[in-house]
Amino acid sequence: MFGIDSAELLVVALVALVVIGPKDLPNLMRTVGHWVGRARGMARHFRSGIDTMIREAELEEMEKKWREENERIMREHPMIPDAATESSNPSPDEISAEDPTPPASGQPSSRPAGELP
């Protein structure tokens, strides 16, 4: 972590035990642990904020590329309504008015039972 070997860490722990004393050492370690935890939490929060900003910048860049590509495609292939296909396709109302064929046998008729064609 900081380049501290296990032997060096043992020496620091022994010095802390002698200087602080065995009675106050647990409270000190608890306090140090609390502050280390808070520092890690702040570092995690900072890192997540940076990651979010990077992700948003990448998203904006991708949206810009997509928009440019979409505009290029729309310029190359403009949508032109085809008048010939619109007039040749009758509406559903025109189909029902023009349909003189009776339903095939076995299929129910849309006319009342007593009415003849």
Helix-helix angle 25-76:6-20, to 10 degrees: 130
How much is the pLDDT for 113? 58
Query: Are 69 and 76 a contacting pair, CB within 8 Å?
Result: no
What is d(CA 30, CA 32) in angstroms, rounded to the nearest whole number?
Answer: 5
How much is the pLDDT for 61? 94
How much is the pLDDT for 16? 87
If you write DSSP's letter for every residue of 30-46 in order, what string do you get? HHHHHHHHHHHHHHHHH
What is d(CA 114, CA 117) in angstroms, rounded to the nearest whole number?
Answer: 10
Q: Mean pLDDT in each 10-residue stretch from start to end of the chain (117 residues)?
A: 78 88 89 94 96 94 95 88 58 58 57 57
What is d(CA 34, CA 42) in angstroms, rounded to the nearest whole number?
Answer: 12
